[in-house]
């Protein structure tokens, strides 16, 4: 468990601050993460990686020459927001475009995709790429749905080394695609991890058992087996990976392979070496030519006790890129010239606006903003009350952090809304400020989706006219459409969409017949509660719970449940303010 921390909510930011202070010769802090101490050479593609905290050396420890140009870092196990990613990318940009790279998790896909859109709109060419190396998380025919785990490193390194060689953006992306296509990982765990401030791990493994096919966000494995000896563990890892060779590799004999035996947080290096001796023996017996293996902690999951094995099947180009020198705080290979002098270019350009200035608003809209603030205060209070319950529900088949993430987001949204309201902002601006704050502080999937919902509602209400029931319903409908467009989920996938769609549809239908907003919202909240309860009978088809679908039967989706709780709480506020 994590013993040294101050405020758990500040843990990720304080860890990043300390990391930057300890490695100021190689990195410098910018809003949202870190970039190389020296500016990206003009004309060189910038490779920006990122994800949640709790995985060190990933992601900040992999920033340096020969590796990433920058890393965007979110809260523990939560994707950084699009604003933070955009800020790091702008700071790293050297004029030749940016490749944004991350593990294939729903929150990362949403936020990095939004960041790429923002960068492109501002004239910075941007591409995105998600690593999908974990063979336990989806079948070969659905490899695009696989998670990214320790295979992040060889894929990141291949792309970054290609960028160092001066290749253009599309060719750097092609290298990432080739490295990912030839990378496979598999892992096991003996205990779960405990987040800062928590008093119990996200999952537990029975004594004398191990979890097989783990993730790196505290998710339980896809199965259990008897606790192995070191040699038995090595055999399971090697056999699993040799059982699925990438396209173009017909048999392991004579193949050159980059090998990573990765510790997930609390397995000691000596234990890893005991396992690796057998891994090397087994691969040798299979005829595999091991190229510059790595044994140690490369992509961790806080204090999880576990190991993973990664094989990247090399061709001539990938071998050259794997062998290329690198000099990052947590990963060094070969030798480079003298360290770069700290750069003065590429100064961080953040997504922040001047919070002391708000658009003009009508008296009607400012009065409506008072109700909006009351709603957001109630939302935050509702989440505080149910945070532990939401975490418990989420932990059944996910990583158990839904309550924590919703607390961060709703608390930040309430604070931002209060500040805008105090400055005389209208309802639309109050909601827009709340949306940005929720997305920035929560990160992850819920941060992106709640930011989208609040912004859609704010756009519908605006700062000039008095909100009507029809306009509120239209805002909720636009929020529903935006979430489905951004997240790709539909009704039946066991996500918040299962609640958001009936909430929006019921509200729209009721207000269209002239039903007052309070009564219409009551009907919509009831529909939401019914839909949330019904998700217990569904199998997840999206998100981190998908690999553990059977475990979630009988338990509602955490995001759906939290939305239903909020919908009912909002009805109480509307009754008080109508």
Confidence of residue 432 (pLDDT cuts 50, 70, 90): very high
Distances (CA, A) of 496 to 49, 71, 217: 28, 29, 20
Of residues 166 and 487, which shows the higher confidence score?
A: 166
Whether 350 shows a pLDDT value over 70: the answer reads no
C-alpha closest to that of 298 among 323, 267, 319: 267
Looking at the DSSP bridge assignments, the partners of residue 451 are none
Lowest mean pLDDT: which of 260-274, 328-342, 485-499? 328-342
Whether 391 shows a pLDDT value over 80: the answer reads yes
CB 529 within 8 A of CB 508: no
Distance in angstroms (rounded) separating the CA atoms of residues 96 and 244:
37
What count of other Cβ atoms lies within 10 Å of the Cβ of residue 345? 13
Distances (CA, A) of 67 to 108, 116, 158, 292: 20, 20, 8, 16
Contacts of 360 (CB under 8 A, 6+ apart): 463
pLDDT value of residue 340 = 58
C-alpha closest to that of 47 among 22, 69, 27, 77: 69
pLDDT value of residue 352 = 46
**Quick one: average pLDDT of 94-119?**
95
- SS3 letters across 72-126: EEEEECCCCCHHHHHHHHHHHCCCCCEEEEEECCHHHHHHHHHHHHHHHHCCCCE
Give the chain's mean pLDDT.
92
Q: At what angle do helices 152-164 and 316-323 cross, to 10 degrees?
A: 90
Distance in angstroms (rounded) separating the CA atoms of residues 560 and 504:
14
**Quick one: average pLDDT of 236-255?**
96
pTM summary value: 0.86
Q: In the chain, what's the furthest Cα-to-Cα distance?
A: 78
**Catalytic: 217?**
yes
pLDDT value of residue 64 = 97
Handedness of CA 404, 457, 488, 133 (dihedral sign): negative
Distance in angstroms (rounded) separating the CA atoms of residues 77 and 360:
39
pLDDT value of residue 361 = 96
State the number of CA atoms in the 13 A half-sphere of 403 facing the CB. Answer: 19
Of residues 372 and 399, which shows the higher confidence score?
A: 372
Whether 115 shows a pLDDT value over 80: the answer reads yes
Of residues 357 and 56, which shows the higher confidence score?
A: 56
C-alpha closest to that of 521 among 391, 378, 366: 378
Task: Give backbone dihedrals phi and psi of 446, rounded to 5 degrees, phi first.
Answer: -65, -35
pLDDT tens digits, residue range 262-310? 999 999 999 999 999 999 999 999 999 999 999 999 999 989 999 999 9
Distance in angstroms (rounded) separating the CA atoms of residues 572 and 361:
26
State the number of CA atoms in the 13 A half-sphere of 320 facing the CB. Answer: 6
Confidence of residue 356 (pLDDT cuts 50, 70, 90): low
Distance in angstroms (rounded) separating the CA atoms of residues 33 and 16:
7
Distance in angstroms (rounded) separating the CA atoms of residues 417 and 410:
10
Catalytic residue among 217, 386, 402, 548: 217
């Amino acid at each position: 468990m994590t013993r040294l921390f101050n405020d758990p909510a500040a843990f990720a930011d304080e860890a990043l601050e300390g990391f930057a202070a300890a490695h100021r010769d190689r990195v410098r802090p910018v809003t949202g993460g870190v970039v190389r101490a020296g500016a990206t050479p003009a004309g060189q593609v910038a490779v920006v990686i990122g994800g949640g905290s709790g995985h060190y050396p990933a992601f900040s420890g992999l920033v340096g020459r020969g590796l990433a140009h920058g890393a965007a870092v979110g809260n523990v196990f939560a994707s950084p927001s699009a604003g933070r990613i955009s800020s790091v990318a702008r700071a790293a940009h050297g004029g030749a475009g940016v490749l944004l790279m991350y593990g294939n998790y729903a929150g990362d896909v949403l936020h990095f995709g939004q960041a790429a859109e923002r960068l492109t709109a501002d004239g910075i060419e941007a591409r995105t790429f998600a690593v999908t190396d974990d063979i336990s998380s989806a079948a070969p025919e659905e490899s695009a749905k696989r998670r990214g785990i320790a295979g992040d490193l060889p894929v990141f390194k291949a792309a970054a080394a290609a960028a160092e060689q001066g290749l253009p953006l599309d060719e750097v992306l092609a290298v990432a695609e080739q490295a990912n296509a030839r990378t496979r990982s598999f892992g096991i765990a003996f205990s779960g991890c405990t987040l800062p401030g928590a008093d119990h791990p996200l999952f537990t493994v029975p004594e004398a058992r191990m979890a097989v096919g783990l993730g790196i966000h505290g998710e339980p494995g896809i199965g259990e087996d008897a606790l192995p000896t070191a040699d038995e563990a090595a055999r399971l890892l090697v056999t699993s990976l040799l059982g699925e060779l990438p396209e173009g590799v017909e048999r392991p004999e004579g193949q050159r392979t980059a090998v990573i035996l990765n510790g997930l947080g609390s397995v000691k290096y000596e234990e890893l070496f005991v396992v690796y001796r057998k891994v090397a023996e087994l691969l040798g017996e299979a005829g595999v030519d091991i190229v510059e293996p790595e044994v140690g902690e490369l992509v961790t999951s806080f204090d999880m006790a576990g190991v993973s094995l990664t094989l990247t099947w090399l061709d001539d180009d990938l071998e050259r890129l794997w062998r290329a020198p690198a000099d990052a705080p947590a990963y060094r290979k070969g030798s480079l010239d003298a360290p770069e002098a700290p750069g003065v270019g590429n100064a961080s350009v953040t997504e922040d606006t001047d919070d002391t200035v708000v658009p003009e608003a009508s008296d009607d809209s400012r009065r409506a903003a008072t109700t909006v603030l009351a709603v957001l205060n109630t939302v935050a209070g509702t989440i505080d009350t149910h945070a532990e319950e939401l975490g418990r529900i989420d932990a059944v088949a996910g990583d158990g952090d839904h309550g924590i993430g919703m607390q961060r987001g709703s608390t930040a949204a309430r604070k931002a809304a209060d500040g805008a309201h105090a400055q005389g902002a209208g309802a639309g601006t109050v909601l827009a400020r709340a949306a940005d704050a929720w997305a920035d502080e929560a990160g992850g999937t819920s941060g992106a989706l709640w930011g989208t919902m609040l912004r859609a509602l704010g756009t519908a209400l605006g700062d000039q006219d008095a909100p009507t029931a029809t306009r509120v319903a239209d805002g909720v409908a636009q929020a529903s459409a935006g979430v489905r467009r951004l997240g790709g989920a539909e009704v039946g996938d066991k996500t918040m969409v299962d609640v958001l769609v009936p909430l929006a549809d019921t509200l729209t239908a009721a207000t269209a017949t002239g039903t007052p907003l309070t009564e219409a919202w009551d009907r919509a909240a009831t529909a939401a509660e019914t839909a949330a309860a019904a998700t217990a009978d569904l199998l997840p088809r999206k998100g981190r719970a998908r690999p553990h679908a059977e475990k979630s039967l009988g338990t509602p989706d955490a995001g759906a449940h939290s939305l239903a709780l909020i919908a009912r709480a909002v009805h109480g506020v509307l009754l008080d303010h109508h």
